[in-house]
Amino acid sequence: MRLPAGRYTLQVMLPGADGGAQDLLHFEVLAPWYLRWWSITLAAALLVLIGLLLNRQRFARVLRRKEELERILGERAARIPKGEDGNTSAVR
C-alpha cells in the first residue's frame, strides 16, 4: 500500500522502565515525478511543440501541392491553341 503525497506525522511509543515515552516523527511523501508541476508543464509544452511542427509540415505539403498544380495548369494552358487575335480559340 502506498501513501498519497502529503505531510504526515507518525507517533511512536517507546517502551521503557518509566512507563514508556512518546516521540513524533514528521515526514513528507512527495508526488511522483510525472505528477509534479514542472513535469506537467513540460509535457504540455512538448504537445504544443509537436502540434506546431505537424502543422508546419502539413502547410509545407499543401504549399508544394499548390505549386505542383500551378505548374500543371501552366503546362496545360500553354498547349491551348491561340486564335488569330491572340486569344484562345473557342472549342466547338
Domains of the chain, by residue range, sit at 32-78
**pLDDT given for residue 89 in this prediction:** 61
Give the residue among 53, 37, 51 at the shortest CA–CA distance from 5.
37
| pTM for this predicted structure | 0.59
Q: Are 29 and 5 in contact (CB under 8 A)?
A: yes
Averaged pLDDT of the chain: 89
Helix/strand/coil percent split, the chain, to 5: 50, 20, 30
pLDDT at 34 > cutoff 80: yes
